[in-house]
Structure 1
């Protein structure tokens, strides 16, 4: 059994692909007999410790969020709190998620100071040319240089991570996302199955990376060419105003429905109202949305970018170039195949997705990565300093200084708050509590240094 700590800025009540991935993977690992906790930052009044399904414990840390649910990188200030949690929960693997998450990298850095094994999952693709990508890639290279294993969600993502972060390919595993096919199922409602018009569904954050500008160019042209086309657009973001302006300018209010932000629990209800799912993304490592749409029996039209060509078989997806003309061609081909009956039935599509993407299988493959990481020797301070030294003439020495300072802080806290004075948390299984200290009841356990607000 492994004791695993998932760490990321992105977790519920925030919604998204990373949040869903962490939750579903954690639940399946618990089902396999492992202990899993999650470290994230506080969301409004959700602070302190919360329990979720099957005893999944979540630590919502009181740290400062600065942009797009990402915390301010502070490094040393979170060390005493993270050290306390990792020792209290007896964690032996820290699994960080998302290159955008400062908290994930901080917890992994602290874990290495405590000689705890680390695994990192990269959920996104990055460029190489712009200034933000250069800075992010350099930091990722340094932090992953001491990471035991890296997971990518597609082979394209693996190649991207290996190139931009300088990670040896043999340390990178490819494990895709999955979908809960018990939830994402085709509709059996005859009214929805026998519509007199065709509905195109878009469920996405309305940001530049998701191709909203392309979508804005496609909507008026396809609506003008086909009188029986309707659009349902779920999601919100800074680019929503672009869609609203197009709808207003072309007077398409009766043919384009903007739902705004929708909860993940409501995504399936939105998807089954459609016939075709349109994804206009400019870059994607995997794209969970098209898997959910295919599981609900929709035809999928998507841009041919990133790892998307790896996700679905050719008979279930119409791939296009990332342009207005390309998306129009893809939609017209999908509509023509639909009229000719050259498409897989919704329930056959659901059956295929169920055989391709199951969380139980993903959890077992992730477990093998953990097993491999645990077999590696402990990275002592000297080994980590040598790794940092190889990361450049400026950043290398800088991180050597940071690592040495943190090591002295580690020694200081080992003296001020010795390990033997930290209460070990009781282990919660699916069916019952197991106590490592039989003299303690769960009611007697409190969480020092953390808000206990529920």
Structure 2
């Protein structure tokens, strides 16, 4: 139903394959679920095959309804509930024969054994396959490129894509093939700035929302704040960190050692309403990650009217314009300078805030669904459908 002469809007059967899915929390999990639900709302039949156990540990092929999305829990009994199942391919193969999908949409990170197994099985079955990378492949490109050249993946009929142009560039270097962009989507109205909220007074109020994992560089963020405060003096800025994860203990130690207990608050995980409320009390969103393929938390902050300070060579640069509605930097030292400028130059802060509030980002679900549609049609053409 998604071959070139026909229309994707006719309603198709879509199978998403992802190692991770709720109740796990994270960027891929949230995006796959929200995309699947948006496609159901469009009238498509949508299934998700995942190695993530259900809320009560459900696995072994149990099927759950998730607001119209049929979620197949194909996880195994692995310590710590990790989303891994080396024995899944035969079950995936049987499900594809049973469901006969029009397209299989695989969601990949650097290490996604379940997703890659799903892609292999789907290609063998002759089903149109889209693979979307949700990560930056920096540091792995030479090894992956060599591996692809030695395998049949070099000629596999798959529509390759990534969540941003920056991420797509790395995928293209690995496969030496055209790579599309399927950006992450969000409900822009949910994150619209609160026009009635008073502008925070006093110190520069910063916020960061992330999983507290090494690749997000939370400890490095504490160092950035410490350097900025050393230049600005006491009472100059505050930082609220929203999120949790294995790096929390390290961040707590750094906060204590730097004497920042009255500057930095580690607030843990908050529901979306809590994050939204926190943004009404902030002026600046700080994103310390350098391997950020997209940056959905930064997009939410940008949509809420915050000034985003982030690294330039990331997916965040696709919705933040340096010197217009945010500041993009090349390294941590430049991030320190950016925070110092925003604290010392209230006119600059006000100008960036005004543009961030007035110029709404375009990354809504309509954009994402349209991009996914293009990739599904391309996948059908590559598969000869």
Deviation at 1:345, TM superposition (A): 4.4
Match of 1:267 among 267, 275, 295: 275
Deviation at 1:206, TM superposition (A): 2.2
Match of 1:9 among 19, 42, 46: 19
Which whole-Å deviations, capped at 9, do the CAs of 1:139-174 have from their partners, x for residues lacking one? 69754641420111222222201112x2412xx212
Q: Is the 8 A contact 1:281 1:322 kept in 2?
A: no
Match of 2:3?
A: none
Deviation at 1:125, TM superposition (A): 1.1
Q: Is the 8 A contact 1:37 1:58 kept in 2?
A: yes
Q: Is the 8 A contact 2:167 2:293 kept in 1?
A: yes
Against the structure 1 CA distance between its residues 38 and 167, is the aligned structure 2 distance closer, same or farther, given a 3 Å change threshold?
farther
Deviation at 1:65, TM superposition (A): 4.3
Against the structure 1 CA distance between its residues 239 and 341, is the aligned structure 2 distance closer, same or farther, given a 3 Å change threshold?
closer
Against the structure 1 CA distance between its residues 295 and 58, is the aligned structure 2 distance closer, same or farther, given a 3 Å change threshold?
same
Which whole-Å deviations, capped at 9, do the CAs of 1:49-108 have from their partners, x for residues lacking one? 21122x111111132446894414x2xx32332233223333121111023221111122
Structure 2 Cα separation of the partners of residues 321 and 68 of structure 1: 37
SS of alignment partner, residue 186 of structure 1: coil
Which whole-Å deviations, capped at 9, do the CAs of 1:307-326 have from their partners, x for residues lacking one? 33233223112011222x21
Against the structure 1 CA distance between its residues 216 and 185, is the aligned structure 2 distance closer, same or farther, given a 3 Å change threshold?
same
Q: Is the 8 A contact 2:14 2:102 kept in 1?
A: yes
Match of 1:168 among 177, 192, 196: 177
SS of alignment partner, residue 120 of structure 1: strand
Q: Is the 8 A contact 1:119 1:147 kept in 2?
A: no
SS of alignment partner, residue 267 of structure 2: strand
Deviation at 1:37, TM superposition (A): 0.9
Match of 1:134 among 137, 143, 146: 143
Match of 2:133?
A: 122
Structure 2 Cα separation of the partners of residues 289 and 68 of structure 1: 25
SS of alignment partner, residue 88 of structure 2: helix
Structure 1 Cα separation of the partners of residues 330 and 184 of structure 2: 24
Which whole-Å deviations, capped at 9, do the CAs of 1:339-364 have from their partners, x for residues lacking one? 45642446x6355334x111112102
Equivalences for residues 177-256 of structure 1 within 5 A: 177-188=184-195, 190=197, 193-224=199-230, 225-226=232-233, 227-256=235-264
Structure 2 Cα separation of the partners of residues 26 and 101 of structure 1: 19
Match of 1:388?
A: none
Structure 1 Cα separation of the partners of residues 119 and 227 of structure 2: 49
Equivalences for residues 299-378 of structure 1 within 5 A: 299-314=307-322, 315-323=324-332, 325-340=333-348, 342-345=350-353, 349-350=356-357, 352-354=359-361, 356-378=362-384
Match of 1:293?
A: 301
Against the structure 1 CA distance between its residues 145 and 234, is the aligned structure 2 distance closer, same or farther, given a 3 Å change threshold?
farther
Equivalences for residues 277-292 of structure 1 within 5 A: 277-292=285-300
Deviation at 1:303, TM superposition (A): 1.7
Match of 1:146?
A: 156
Against the structure 1 CA distance between its residues 147 and 45, is the aligned structure 2 distance closer, same or farther, given a 3 Å change threshold?
farther
SS of alignment partner, residue 375 of structure 1: helix
Deviation at 1:247, TM superposition (A): 1.9
Deviation at 1:298, TM superposition (A): 0.8
SS of alignment partner, residue 160 of structure 2: strand
Q: Is the 8 A contact 1:105 1:143 kept in 2?
A: no
Against the structure 1 CA distance between its residues 194 and 135, is the aligned structure 2 distance closer, same or farther, given a 3 Å change threshold?
closer
Equivalences for residues 424-435 of structure 1 within 5 A: none
Q: Is the 8 A contact 1:223 1:229 kept in 2?
A: yes
Structure 2 Cα separation of the partners of residues 303 and 361 of structure 1: 24
Structure 2 Cα separation of the partners of residues 142 and 272 of structure 1: 51
Deviation at 1:250, TM superposition (A): 3.4
Structure 2 Cα separation of the partners of residues 258 and 136 of structure 1: 40
Indicate the RMSD between aligned Cα atoms, in angstroms. 2.8
Against the structure 1 CA distance between its residues 69 and 199, is the aligned structure 2 distance closer, same or farther, given a 3 Å change threshold?
farther
Q: Which moved more, 1:370-379 or 1:291-300?
A: 370-379
Against the structure 1 CA distance between its residues 144 and 350, is the aligned structure 2 distance closer, same or farther, given a 3 Å change threshold?
farther
Length, aligned pairs only: 366
Q: Is the 8 A contact 1:5 1:38 kept in 2?
A: yes
Q: Which moved more, 1:142-151 or 1:281-290?
A: 142-151
Structure 2 Cα separation of the partners of residues 22 and 129 of structure 1: 24
Q: Is the 8 A contact 1:284 1:308 kept in 2?
A: yes
Structure 1 Cα separation of the partners of residues 302 and 373 of structure 2: 27
Match of 2:41 among 31, 45, 55: 31
**Structure 2 unaligned blocks of 5 or more:** 1-10
**Structure 1 unaligned blocks of 5 or more:** 380-454
Structure 2 Cα separation of the partners of residues 50 and 152 of structure 1: 28
Match of 2:63?
A: 49
